[in-house]
Chains A and B, each alone.
Chain A
Amino acid sequence: MRTTIATSLREPLVQFVALGVALFALYGMLGGGDSDATDEKRVDVTQAEIGWLSERWSRQWQRPPTEAELRGLVDDYVREEVLYREALGMGLDRDDAVVRRRMVQKLELLTEAVQAPATEQQLQAHFQENLDRYIIPEARSFSHIYFNVDQRGDAVFSDAERVLDRLRALSQQPSRAPERGDRFLLQYDYRLHTEAEVARLFGSRFAEALFEVEPDSWQGPIQSGYGLHLVYVSDVGAEAVPEFQQVRNRVLVDYEVKQRNDAKEALYRGLSESYEVTIDEEAVRAASIQTESGGASR
């Protein structure tokens, strides 16, 4: 998988070599090379090719090749080079899904490979630019009194309202307030839960309502997936911006993911600018299954 290969490519030496190859390839593509070997029908097996063949052999067999073995490799190389060029010349690579996919992968891998490790400044900047992602959301501490619809039936609303009226009439908060309602199998008191956390436990409608009520007084009744609740918000932890160091690991992971994706996108955008693309919409419709709702949603 890309990341497996990417790991080995993160080695500085490999990066350096890869960058060199990439530049060389680009240079070649732009026609800047002073010898256009494919036209000249020349195969030069120089020290560079021989070194590469020998190294590849050594990696596989854990020893350098003998002269006879190396000559065999060179012969194979020449043969492969001649046939490869001819095949390219005939355009045999064009309709081959394997070759196409492989070439695309190689190009994308190059962009990934040359990513330098993130600096602290880059991470800090990423953190600042994406603050909303790292913001510690508002959290609320609350207690609730539960009214079980299944047991109380239609009386559940009036029961809840009655308890609420009584609680509001009291000058001091009673202890054991949740005992004025029904037993509840989760907790009666929650400390600093975010809206998302409350939603996981009570459902989204309840969570939304809880985060709108006035603190420091009994409010409700609010409906949840379980029944009705009176709620008392006793503490509000305001939305806050964390210190960079608190979230550095998350920032790092996010930054790397973004960097990888950006690099691929930038490469594609840069290269595709010079292309004009037309798509035969009629043919798209003709060749696909038509459904009313279109594609899948989540």
Chain B
Amino acid sequence: MRPSKLATTLSLLTILGTGVSFAQDPVPPPEALEGAFPAQKHFSPYAGRNFPTQVYWGDTHLHTGMSMDAGAFGARLSPEDAYRFARGEELTSSTGLQVRLGRPLDFLVVADHSDNMGFFPRLYAGEPDMLADPTGRRWYDMIQEGGQAGVQVAIEVIQAFSDNEFPEALASLPGTPAYRSAWEEAIDAAEKYNDPGEFTAFIGYEWTSNTRGANLHRVVIFRDDGHRAGMVEPYTTLRPLGSDNPRDLWRQLQAYEDKTGGQILALAHNGNLSNGIMFPMLDTFTGMAFDREYAETRAKWEPLYEATQIKGDGEAHPYLSPTDEFADYETWDQGNLDLSEAKENEMLQYEYARTGLQIGLQLERQLGVNPYKFGMIGSTDSHTGLATAEEENFFGKHSGTEPSPERYKHPMAQLGDKKYESWDMVGSGYAAVWATENTREAIFDAMMRRETYATTGPRMLVRFFGGWEFTAEHAQSRLPANVGYTKGVPMGGDLPARSGNGAPTFLVAALKDPFSGNLDRIQIVKGWLDSRGERHEKVYDVAWSGDRQIGRDGKLPPVGNTVDVANATWANTIGAPELITVWTDPDFDASQSAVYYARVIEIPTPRWTAYEAARFNITLPSEVPMITQERAYTSPIWYTP
């Protein structure tokens, strides 16, 4: 394919060839560039830069009609449709709307549920085996009826599954031709649309452990091609063929690598719907303390966590972080996934990324290994086959919640008196990956080294480096990334051994998404353990727009608000296009383990609900939020004494 996305190396050589040379910084000493990006000797000052210079954008978590619940909710799009859409083509959605992404994505993982994969297409097609079962027949009729009856099927399907009461005659189980053919369809679609250098189509699936409605879901992603992925079938959760315990999933992942020599990873999401078991202190399945093996295997297989998506933001919770004015962002905390169990405050600490990272430090103290050493990505978890996270182009959680003047009236899901309103859905998020090229291998490898960040949809560029010798002038550098890689480690890394007596320093930079709001501020969130092993956290404002001063309460005043809700517009007259700084931890104690990540916040912009109201000329209930402040969360950098 055309070499447009090759490293800058080429560009400089060409420009030299035309007699125009634009050099900037002094050449970084090649030997200073670390092992991950082996240095080469070149004449050009840029040519030593074989670290990632580009962010690739994607969704690691998209469902199509192959997923039993997505199908029941009305999704008719196939994995092939999903890849076509992600790479920028216009499609007709399951509800008959023409739809296209504002900007294509660089990669996509179609991650249909492994349990009953392909069940729905068979039911929908009215295969005789399906209709012979009374429940199958009833579901089929309800689906034909459409609308809320179809949504009800989805809810019954999910519930029957959570309660282990799914009719055996309907099940699509590993080892059967129906299951195999669904898996092969998923693989074939990825193989067909994977186009190295242009668009990466990963093979993947979702393992949906959901016992009693407690969300322990994991998306599984293959680095490999269809030949290897086809040597196994997706692991399910129902015994005896599957298991709802992540340890058993990890065993399967190990078996895959042993059998094929391939590589695979798992990444969890929606701790907020796990009711206290996503980042536990004790083994939920036995009630016993964890052993070192748990910590080692979890850390090995789960380098990332999906920190934001449609079903609520997973970074922080206001109950856990009462002084963080940005912690209550798109919070979903009524209960577990199917709302069969209400939320207790006690559960929250084990559900959010911020506390999860700190609990990881606590477990590391006990076990010698940190099981929760994860980086961050965002994804949609959309069940429409459409990876939409743009506020002005948001197609919702499932096909019953695609855009319509009626969308806000129907709950997204409901059980008893508890429900998720459609307008609760979050127009979020995407995964940003600093990779050397757009291939399965390069993006997967970047995920393994956690050089990733999450956004709630906008494509802002974020750099975050930690080291011991960054100084204020490095923030003035023409090429901050050069300095970052040369003198420190990128997001997802461990601070190198401490040199000198100083505190750790961080070079952090953000550039706005040219299509979205300006930047309000960059913050660094620090979590650490005191000498007794107790958890602590603090949010530091480190760079911001304008000449605002930190107030006496230690808070930076809000950036302001230019949103015109009625017309769903805003003005970039506040905020900054770019923020960069070097920050030194003012409260550093070398004897305490700590974890740092950056949070980048945009100025207020219209939420998807505002676009919807303006587009359909409808008035939404007054409790519906109409303004959002989109954000990015970087993978952390860890300090270990």
Contact = CB atoms under 8 A, between A and B. Distances in A.
Given A4-B182, A291-B405, A189 B476 contact: no
A44 to B, nearest CB: 23
B141 A98 contact: yes
Interface stretch (A29-37, A68-76, A194-202, A263-271): A194-202
A105 B192 contact: no
A97 B124 CA distance: 12
Contacts of A176: 21-24
Interface stretch (B9-17, B425-433, B591-599): B9-17
Given A3-B78, A225-B577, A289-B406, A185 B12 contact: no
Interface stretch (B225-233, B355-363, B371-379, B506-514): B506-514
A193 B2 CA distance: 9
Contact of A291 (B5, B509, B572, B617): B617
Given A235-B18, A298-B393, A200 B103 contact: yes
B22 A141 contact: no
A191 interface: yes
Interface string B100-114: 100110000000000
Interface stretch (A14-22, A82-90, A121-129, A142-150): A142-150
Nearest to A176: B23
B122 to A, nearest CB: 8
Contacts of B100: 298
Contacts of B4: 139, 191-194, 197
Nearest to B21: A175
Given A225-B513, A253-B192, A177 B22 contact: yes
Contact of A253 (B46, B193, B403): B193
Given A4-B185, A149-B577, A192-B2, A296 B615 contact: yes
B125 A2 contact: yes
A201 B545 CA distance: 22
Interface in A110-164: 136, 139, 141, 143, 148-150
Contacts of B463: 185
Interface in B1-56: 2-6, 8, 10-12, 14-15, 18-24, 46, 53
B2 A4 contact: no
Interface string B300-321: 0000000000000000000000
A253 B201 CA distance: 14
Contacts of B509: 185
Given A189-B22, A289-B406, A1 B65 contact: yes
B66 interface: yes
B470 interface: no
B515 A1 contact: no
A188 B393 contact: no
B125 A178 contact: no
A149 B126 CA distance: 61
Contacts of A249: 192, 195
Contacts, number: 176
B577 to A, nearest CB: 4
A298 B388 CA distance: 11
Contacts of B323: none
B577 A298 contact: no
A27 interface: no
Contacts of A203: 514-515
A1 B185 CA distance: 10
A183 B480 contact: yes
Nearest to A172: B19
Which interface class (under 10, 10 to 19, 20 to 34, 35 or more) fits B? 35 or more
B255 interface: no
A102 interface: yes
B181 interface: yes
A234 B18 contact: yes
Contact of A191 (B11, B65, B402): B11
Contacts of A62: none
B126 A143 contact: no
Interface string A284-297: 00000101110111
B293 to A, nearest CB: 39
A189 B80 contact: no
The residue in B10, B20, B100, B545 that gathers the most chain A C-beta atoms within 10 A of its C-beta is: B20
B588 interface: no
A4 B118 contact: yes
Interface of B: 2-6, 8, 10-12, 14-15, 18-24, 46, 53, 65-66, 71, 76, 78, 80, 97-100, 103-104, 118, 120-122, 124-126, 140-141, 144-145, 181-182, 184-185, 192-193, 195, 393, 402-406, 461, 463, 476-478, 480, 509-515, 545, 572, 576-578, 580, 615-618
Given A184-B578, A249-B195, 20 more contacts: A1-B124, A2-B121, A3-B78, A136-B2, A143-B20, A148-B578, A149-B577, A150-B578, A175-B21, A179-B478, A188-B478, A189-B11, A189-B15, A189-B46, A197-B4, A226-B514, A293-B616, A296-B97, A296-B402, A296-B404
Instruction: Return the 10 tightest CB-CB contacts between A and B, nearest first.
Output: A225-B514, A1-B121, A191-B11, A203-B514, A185-B511, A97-B144, A296-B403, A150-B576, A175-B21, A226-B577
